Structure 1
Amino acid sequence: MPIAHEKSLLWRSVTVFDGAQTLPRPMAVLVEAGRIAHLSPMEEFDEAIAAGAVEASGGGVMTPGLIDCHSHLVYAGNRADEFEQRLEGVGYAEIAKAGGGILSTVRATRMASEEQLLAQSLPRLQALLADGVSTLEIKSGYGLTTADELKMLRVARKLGELLPVRIITTLLAAHALPPEFADDSDGYIELVCNEIIPAAAAEGLADAVDVFCEHIGFSPAQCERVFQAAKAHGLPIKAHAEQLSNQGASVLAARYQGLSADHIEFLDEAGVRAMATAGMVATLLPGAFHTLRETQLPPIALLRQYGVPVALASDANPGTAPICFPTLILNLACTLFRLTPREALAGMTAEAARALGRPDLGRIEVGAPADLCLWDVQQPAELAYAVQPGRLRQRIFNGAITYAR
């Protein structure tokens, strides 16, 4: 992670999307010591405030750095063959039962060294950064042994040391049932709770704990045991919830003050109400919805009705969302789920930050960390409207310009 820029940086006449809305007038933005020091309309800008500042750029649209709050970026191999199978009519659940799906990636990931995992993951991370990401959550879940889960989390942490990005790590050991526990799911959950979670917590490798609560994953009762173990080690929880069926995972996660419930295509009103009461975030993953050709839409109207914050994320993974293009996710959220461009952009900035338990991120306001993107567009809605790479003019991380075109 680079240190903050030694000199103040000044942007003039930028259109600012502040994480919630587009500010109505061209703005001046001053960054000092890694934070936003001044924000004002150009006609009210006092030149004395920026004495000695470096003129960084002018014009364009400035947003917070994009936040990808749900990814599976660290893995080995790929699953292009399964992509082809699905197009030939084979279902996701059928592929998983035949030993494909998550378990095929588990085999490849177990065989890879930390160095090999790092080498395979770096290009995916670089693609995300090139399209504006400044904070990324990376889940484990392709190791399914203590050693291999910790290996994945160490690689995720290393990525954040090599490139200018904030990495948030999530332990997802309850992602799939490993072959050695094929007839003993309770035994595997016991391993997760009594060995893997304590080991990850002891090494400081996990910022949260996630579960895959589904008929091809783990039961609500098993997931609750994982939540209890996570809480016992001071780790917040998240859930892959209601993706393929309604298992009540969102209600369960709400009882444990979960940060977010993710996917949620089959979420019902009781689940939405529970999430609203618990202050949870609903994380939508339109890339997986698109790749799997799903038809069950998440309950957008109910989420709006109950005031549940909506985040968006890439779900970047080898099987169901091999997508490392965050502005494409903005477009898919609008075209598939009918989010507005404002909702979509908030979903990958301020609301995504909330889904990670980091409400200090994802906003352009005085005092906030200076993670920013300057885009060569005329209005923020263009970022969701067009699927077009190469629009990022500058990427600012921790007050330093880490990319400029």
Structure 2
Amino acid sequence: MTGKKLLIKHAAELITCAGAAPKKGAAMADIGIISDGALVAEAGKIVWVGPTDDLPPDSEEQCEVIDATGQCVMPGFVDSHTHMVFGGYRPEEFFWRLAGTPYLEILERGGGILNTVQATRSASLAELKDLAARRLENMLAMGVTTVEGKSGYGLDLDTELRQLAVMDELNREQPVEIVPTFLGAHAVPPDYKGRTDDYVDYMIKEVLPAVVRQGVAEFCDVFCEQGVFSLAQSRRLLAAAKNMGLQAKLHADEIVSLGGAELAAELNACSADHLLQASDAGIAALSQVRTVATVLPMTAFCLRESYARARVMIDQGAAVALATDYNPGSCFSHSMPLVAALAAIQLNMKPAEIVTALTINGAAAVNRADRIGSLEIGKQADVVILGYPSHLYLVYHAGMNIVDKVIKHGRLIWNKSGRKQHGKEQ
């Protein structure tokens, strides 16, 4: 399709989600539906959007034309929280948890995050890259056009840089856009047991400067949690990262109500993620800032934990995004259909709010709302076409992948046959 314009016409619904900032509160239900909609893209950008009857004359000349009759056209999904670059798997641990085995016993059996750290440290760049590339193809098939990827399975200098290098290479070689995040503060490695402050010092003095010199990571994240990294330690690390040019993200209030949401608001972090145990004060704080509350319902589902209070967050005026938390431990799934179903059934989110949370708010959670996440003139032409006429089917056809076509930078790159149409444009 290189050199041609793209025209999508006769969409039963064309959903714009227009905006260049996170949609907050009641605004999340405003998704801008155009009936019998059309879109024209050129050179990777959207140049026209509106009703098909209003298309400019000769719109189909020199265009690749997609007739979306009976289908819903919407922005590409943004999965704004994943741990997609890792070595090894932990299937036994999943069933240990279901049987009620305590986490400390799982660690004694060789499970937990340190299991993945060992496997990732042992894997070469080529091995990690091959694994991640296959995962990205599966994400693409579910309509994901942009994905955030975290390091954090090295907890040392070399492996953290290797994970980020994998993302950098894949960003150039395949169509799904990757947003790299440095998560060196994912856990405390055994050689720093009982010396968490020393590990934070190591991150700040040795690892962060090397990450910045590498020039791949855009964000610094930290697992701010009881028994992992305290509020003070998280604040110190993120302040240092900000001084070095990285934006802040937080794993916040996942296991206990520690005050992570309040810290994220205090730091004007780009996002605060998990939030299963976020306090009323934390939710109120998030509603006053642009920090996106990223909820990860599949993790609660897999862990049999209570869900984040997304309904309260929206009703109080916060901006909510939805993401998968794809990782080899607590959520070995990148199913956007399951995320959408859980958001409606367990989080009590409205269908339109779910669309917003998967698109423009997901884009805002990775600081890209000015470029992606909506279908409007000047935005990147990242588009998903559903096999049904309405966005309601995202939830109604519960847990099923209803994506028919995926377009990235104005180029058709996947269709329902599961076969990629084009490689990444050079």
- Answer yes or no: same fold by TM over 0.5: yes
- Supply the distance in 2 between the matched residues of 1:98 and 1:278 (Cα, whole angstroms): 43
Render the CA deviation track for 1:15-65: whole Å, top value 9, x for unaligned.
112235151421111111111111111232233344332212332111111
Q: What is the Cα deviation at residue 374 of structure 1? A: 1.1
1:313 is the counterpart of 2:313: no
1:122 is the counterpart of 2:122: no
- Supply the distance in 1 between the matched residues of 2:7 and 2:295 (Cα, whole angstroms): 35
- Supply the distance in 1 between the matched residues of 2:56 and 2:3 (Cα, whole angstroms): 22
SS in 1 for 2:140: helix
- Supply the distance in 2 between the matched residues of 1:28 and 1:191 (Cα, whole angstroms): 53
Q: Indicate the residue corresponding to 2:61 in structure 1.
A: 51
Q: Indicate the residue corresponding to 1:202 in structure 2.
A: 213
- Supply the distance in 1 between the matched residues of 2:108 and 2:219 (Cα, whole angstroms): 28
Q: What is the Cα deviation at residue 120 of structure 1? A: 1.9
Q: Indicate the residue corresponding to 1:274 in structure 2.
A: 285
- Supply the distance in 1 between the matched residues of 2:108 and 2:383 (Cα, whole angstroms): 43
Pick from 9, 16, 19 the counterpart of residue 18 of structure 1: 16
| Conserved? CA contact 1:30–1:50, under 8 Å | no
| Conserved? CA contact 1:209–1:237, under 8 Å | yes
- Supply the distance in 2 between the matched residues of 1:246 and 1:184 (Cα, whole angstroms): 23
In the TM superposition, 1:88-103 aligns within 5 A as 88-92=99-103, 94-96=105-107, 100-103=111-114
Q: Indicate the residue corresponding to 1:111 in structure 2.
A: 122
| Conserved? CA contact 2:297–2:308, under 8 Å | no
Structure 2 counterpart of 1:357, which letter? N
Q: Indicate the residue corresponding to 1:219 in structure 2.
A: 230
Q: What is the Cα deviation at residue 239 of structure 1? A: 0.4
Pick from 348, 357, 378 the counterpart of residue 358 of structure 2: 348
Q: What is the Cα deviation at residue 98 of structure 1? A: 6.2
Q: Indicate the residue corresponding to 1:131 in structure 2.
A: 142
Structure 2 counterpart of 1:386, which letter? H
Structure 2 counterpart of 1:141, which letter? G
- Supply the distance in 2 between the matched residues of 1:5 and 1:385 (Cα, whole angstroms): 36
Q: What is the Cα deviation at residue 244 of structure 1? A: 0.6
User: RMSD of aligned C-alpha atoms?
Assistant: 1.6
Render the CA deviation track for 1:330-353: whole Å, top value 9, x for unaligned.
111111211112111211100000
1:372 is the counterpart of 2:383: yes
Render the CA deviation track for 1:185-237: whole Å, top value 9, x for unaligned.
11111111111111111110211000001113211111111111111101110
In the TM superposition, 1:14-93 aligns within 5 A as 14=11, 15-19=13-17, 20-59=30-69, 60-92=71-103
Q: What is the Cα deviation at residue 285 of structure 1? A: 0.2
Q: Indicate the residue corresponding to 2:22 in structure 1.
A: none
Q: Indicate the residue corresponding to 2:202 in structure 1.
A: 191
SS in 2 for 1:320: coil
Q: What is the Cα deviation at residue 304 of structure 1? A: 1.8
1:404 is the counterpart of 2:402: no
Q: What is the Cα deviation at residue 126 of structure 1? A: 1.1
Render the CA deviation track for 1:91-128: whole Å, top value 9, x for unaligned.
34653476521111001111111111112222211110
- Supply the distance in 1 between the matched residues of 2:161 and 2:142 (Cα, whole angstroms): 29
- Supply the distance in 1 between the matched residues of 2:337 and 2:32 (Cα, whole angstroms): 17
Pick from 232, 247, 251 the counterpart of residue 236 of structure 1: 247
TM-score, L = length of structure 2? 0.90
Gaps of 5+ in 1: none
Pick from 2, 5, 19 the counterpart of residue 2 of structure 2: 5
- Supply the distance in 1 between the matched residues of 2:151 and 2:47 (Cα, whole angstroms): 36
Q: What is the Cα deviation at residue 387 of structure 1? A: 3.6
Number of residues paired by the alignment? 401
SS in 2 for 1:155: helix
- Supply the distance in 1 between the matched residues of 2:253 and 2:103 (Cα, whole angstroms): 15
Q: Indicate the residue corresponding to 1:252 in structure 2.
A: 263
- Supply the distance in 1 between the matched residues of 2:121 and 2:171 (Cα, whole angstroms): 22
Query: Which 10-residue stretch deviates more, 114-123 or 197-206?
Result: 114-123
- Supply the distance in 1 between the matched residues of 2:275 and 2:154 (Cα, whole angstroms): 25
SS in 2 for 1:403: strand
| Conserved? CA contact 2:5–2:43, under 8 Å | yes
| Conserved? CA contact 1:5–1:399, under 8 Å | no
TM-score, L = length of structure 1? 0.95
Q: Indicate the residue corresponding to 2:184 in structure 1.
A: 173
- Supply the distance in 2 between the matched residues of 1:224 and 1:302 (Cα, whole angstroms): 26
Name the % identity.
35
SS in 1 for 2:203: helix
Structure 2 counterpart of 1:17, which letter? I
SS in 1 for 2:224: coil
Change (3 A) 1:97 1:273: farther
